[in-house]
Amino acid sequence: MEGRRLLRLLFLLFATVLLLLFTLLNFPYPPSNTAELLDCTTYSPWCTSKNRFQSKKPDLVKNPSYPTRHHHAADVPHHPLDPLTIQEFNKVRSILKSYALLENKPYALHSVVLEEPEKSVVLKWQKGDPLPPRKASVVARAEGVSHVLTVDIDTSEVTGGHEMHLSGYPPMSMEDMTSATVAPLANADFNRTIIERGIDLVDLACLPISSGWFGKTDEKRRLIKVQCYSTKDTANFYMRPIEGLTVLLDLDTKEVVEITDEGRNIPIPKAANTDYRYSSQSTHQKLKLLNPISIEQPKGPSFTIEDEHIVKWANWEFHLKPDPRAGVIISRAMVRDPETKELRNVMYKGLTSELFVPYMDPTDAWYFKTYMDAGEYGFGLQAMPLEPLNDCPRNAYYMDGVFPSADGTPYVRSNMICVYESYAGDIGWRHSECPITGMEIREVRPKVTLVVRMAASVANYDYIMDWVFQTDGVIRIKVGLSGILMVKGTPYMNMDEVNQQENLYGTLLSENVIGVIHDHYITFYLDLDVDGSNNSFVKVNLERQRTKPGESPRRSYLKAERNVAKTEKDAQVKLGLYDPSEFHVINPSKKTRVGNPVGYKVVPGGTAASLLSHDDPPQKRGAFTNNQIWVTPYNETEQWAGGLFVYQNQGEDNLAVWSERDRPIENKDIVLWYTLGFHHIPCQEDFPIMPTVSSSFDLKPVNFFESNPILGIPPNVENDLPNCNAAASV
C-alpha cells in the first residue's frame, strides 16, 4: 500500500511539474539586465517608449525587450504557404473525430501541418488573388497502424488513409516523450533497482531515447529506451547519470519490455560544480568581463513583417514560418536586382531536413544512441522560447509557432523564432588607394545582415539555427552547437587510473564523468530556383595544368573545368581539400550581358564527413550523410532526408535510396541537399556546459548580377548614428 501511495504522489508531482513547465515555456521570458543598456538621446524606437516603428506598422513588430503575447485565435491565412491557424487546427480536429478510420477508437496525431499547394500554383499566385484550397496533411496512428491523411478544411473531405508499408514510424508526439519518462515508475523491478542504486525516487529524472534499428528483434513494435539521472543538488542532472541502467519500453502500451542494469559498480558523479545557472555561481566564479553593448537604430529597423509571415528587408523578400519537424521554413526567397529593380527568384524553399547524431560507444548502454532529431523528436517541437537580450538582441521581432497536441488541440510555442538586423563591425566591401598613386581614396561600406534565428533544446543539446541574409545576395546558413554533453559514468577519477589499453570512448571531463565522442550532421533541403525553376548543377573543377616547354617561366597553373551533371549520380559530391571545386546551380536559359549563365553557388565552410561503415545499421539509416552534396529532381514527396517515417526505419526510404535511381537533372526543377558536419571529441572546457561552436555554408551569387550589387550603398555618416549615454534605466 505504501508503494502505491508513493507512486500516486510521484505521478501527481510529475503532472504538476509538467503543467508548470508548459506554462513557463509558453509565456514570454522577462528581459535580463535591461537597465544596463543604453538610453539614446537621438531618437531611437528601440530605446524609448515612443512608437517603435515610426511610419512602419507598429503592430507588426513586438517590443523587442518585452515581447508581447500574440493572441492567435483570430489569425487567418494570407498566403498559400501560411501555416495552419488555430481555427483551422480546431476544424481539422473536429473533422477527424467523425472520420470512419478513427471514429470511436483511441488515436494520436503525430503530425498536422499545411499540405502546401502544388508549386506551380504557388508560383502563379499574387497578393490579392483568392487563396488555393486550404488542406491539412495529417499523420495519425490508431490501433498500432500509421495513416497518412489529407483533410480539406473547406469541404471537410478526408482522403488517403492508406496504411504505410515502409518500415518506421512517425515522429514521437510530446505526449509520447513525456509519458515514456514516467512509465517505468509503474514497474516494481525498476523502482527497486533505483532504490538499490541509492537514488531517492523523488530525485529521479528520466529521458526518452530513440532506440534506432538493429535487426528483426526491433520490428513490429514501437520501442523506446529510457535512461535516468539524479537531480539531487543540481539542475544539471545530465552530469549525474545512473550508468548502465536502461529500460526498454513499448511506446504504444507503455509496457516495460526489459530492464538492463550493468553499471552497479559505477558511482553516480557528484553534483559539485555541475550547476550552470548564473544564480548558482559563487561570487568568485562570476565574471564581469565586458561593458553592456547594444545595437541602436535611430531611424527605426529596415525590415517589416507583412501579414505575419512575409519578411521584407533591404533587397530581400521571403516567406517565413515555423514548422514542428524542420523548425524554420524559408520560402519564395527573392532578391531585388539593383539595375532592373525587379525581384528575382533565388530559392523556392529551404529547411533543415534532418539531424543525425551518432555516439561512438558500442557498449550495451550506448550503442543505440544514434539520434535523428528531426524525424524522431521533431526539431521544431523542441524549439524553446527565445530569451530577449540574450538569445536575440534588443532590435528583434519574435514569431510564435502554433502546433497541435496528440489529440489535435492547438497550443502556442511563444517566441520560437526571432528576426533581427545585425552589425558586428564587418565590412561589405572596401578599398584604400596606395599613396604612390597620389589618389587619396578610402572607400568602405559596412556589412549589415538580417538574421532569422531559432534555438532548439533537444534534451541536453542546444542547436542555434541562423539563416543570414546579406545585401550582396548571399544567404549564409549557420549552425551553433551548445548545451550540455551526454556523458557516461565511470569509476575513474583521474587519467592516472586508466589502463592505456582501455578505450574510454571519450574524454574524462571530471571525476567519474566521461564525455563520449560523437558526430553531428545537419542536412539541409535547398530547392533553389535561380531565375526560374529549371536549373542545372555544374561542378567546376580546378585542375592543375603544366605549361609547355618554353611557353612561360611558370611550370604550372590552375584551370577551371566545368562539368554539367546529367543525372543524380553525377551530382553526388564528397568534399576534399585536394579536389578543389565550386558547385554552381545555374539557369542555362538566362544569361548576363556578357553571356554567362546566371547562377548561385554553394560555398562549403568547415564541415565533417561520416566515417562509419556503410553496413553499420545507424549509417544505413543515415546514408544521406555518405555525401556532402546531392542533387535530385524536385519531388514534393521527397523532403525529409531520412524518409517520411524515420523512427525505427531500416534505411530503405531516404535520400541515398532516391538518388540511386539516377534520374535526369539537367535543365530540370532540381533540389540541392547539403550536409554540415561536426566531429566532437569532448574536452574539459565543455564541462559542465559547452561554449557554442559554430559552422556555416553560403549560397552565393555567381554571375547572377551584372556587377557588384551593393556598389551603390552609402557609407556610415556620424550624424546618422545615435548619440548614446550610459543610463541607470531605460
pLDDT at 89 over 80: yes
Q: Which of 388, 389, 387, 393 is nearest to 301 (CA)?
A: 393
Q: How far is 423 from 426, CA to CA, in rounded Å?
A: 7
Is the pLDDT confidence value at 115 over 60? yes
Residue 400, all three cell numbers: 510564435
CA torsion sign for 35, 38, 43, 44 is negative
Q: What is the 3-state secondary structure (H, E, C) of 543-586?
A: EEEECCCCCCCCCEEEEEEEEECCEHHHHCECCCCCCCEEEEEE
Average pLDDT taken over every residue of the chain: 89
Average pLDDT over residues 37-44: 33
Among 6-20, 124-138, 418-432, the range scoring the smallest mean pLDDT is 6-20
Comparing CA positions, the residue from 699, 703, 701, 681 lying closest to residue 690 is 681
Predicted local confidence at residue 440, as pLDDT: 86
Strand partners, 557: 545
3-state class percentages of the chain: helix first, strand second, coil last, to nearest 5: 15, 35, 45
Strands (E), 270-391: 303-306, 310-313, 316-323, 327-336, 343-358, 370-372
Mind listing the pLDDT tens digit for each residue in 703-730?
A: 999 999 999 999 998 887 777 665 443 3
Q: Is 276 helix (H, G, I), strand (E, B) or coil?
A: coil
pLDDT at 51: 27
C-alpha 380/C-alpha 328 separation (Å) is: 7
Q: What amino acid is encoded at 566 in this protein? A: K
Q: How much of the chain exceeds pLDDT 90, in percent?
A: 80
**Percent of the chain residues past pLDDT 70, beyond the cut:** 89
Q: Grade residue 282 by pLDDT with cuts at 50, 70 and 90.
A: confident
List Cβ neighbours of 511 (8 Å cut-off, separation of 6 or more): 269, 270, 493, 494
Cis peptide before 301 (omega within 30 of 0): no
Give the whole-angstrom CA distance, residue 476 versus residue 701.
12
Which tens digit of pLDDT belongs to each residue from 200-259? 999 999 999 999 999 876 668 999 999 999 999 999 999 999 999 999 999 999 999 999
Tell me the Cα Rg of the chain: 27
Most distant CA atoms of the chain, gap in Å = 98
- What pLDDT, on a 0 to 100 scale, did the predictor assign at position 49? 26
- Crossing angle for the helix pair 2-25 and 188-196, to the nearest 10 degrees: 90
With beta carbons less than 8 A apart as the criterion, state whether 472 and 711 touch.
no
Catalytic residues: 373, 461
The strand pair at 145-152 and 158-163 is best described as antiparallel
Q: Give me the mean pLDDT over the 311-339 stretch.
A: 98
User: What is the DSSP code (8-state) at residue 386?
Assistant: P
Are 368 and 212 spatial neighbours (Cβ–Cβ below 8 Å)? yes
Question: What pLDDT is attached to residue 293?
Answer: 84
Q: Quick check: 138 pLDDT over 90?
A: yes
Asked if pLDDT for residue 488 goes beyond 50, the answer is yes
> Residue 10 to residues 175, 233, 288, 368: CA-CA distances in angstroms?
18, 19, 41, 29
506-510 vs 518-528, strand pairing mode:
unpaired
- Helical (H) or strand (E) element with 515: strand 513-516
Rounded distance between C-alpha atoms, residue 12 and residue 186, angstroms:
13
> For the chain, which domains are there?
2-163 (3.10.450.40), 184-280 (3.10.450.40), 324-382+459-711 (2.70.98.20)
- Comparing CA positions, the residue from 694, 616, 630, 686 lying closest to residue 663 is 630
| Sign of the four-CA dihedral 545, 549, 553, 555 | positive
Span 664-670, mean pLDDT?
A: 98
Q: Are residues 81 and 319 in contact, defined by beta-carbon separation less than 8 angstroms?
A: yes
313-340 exposure pattern, b = at least 16 Cβ within 10 A, e = fewer: bbbbbbbbbbbbbbbbbbbbbbbbbbee
**Per-residue pLDDT tens for 550-561?**
999 999 999 999
Rounded to the nearest 10°, the torsion over CA 447, 451, 457, 460 is -10
With 0-12 / 13-18 / 19 or more C-beta atoms within 10 angstroms meaning exposed / middle / buried, residue 179 is: middle
Contacts of 362 (CB under 8 A, 6+ apart): 505
Nearest Cα to Cα of residue 371 among 263, 460, 454, 455 = 460
Distance CA 690, CA 485 (A): 7
* CA–CA dist 102, 106 (Å, integer): 7
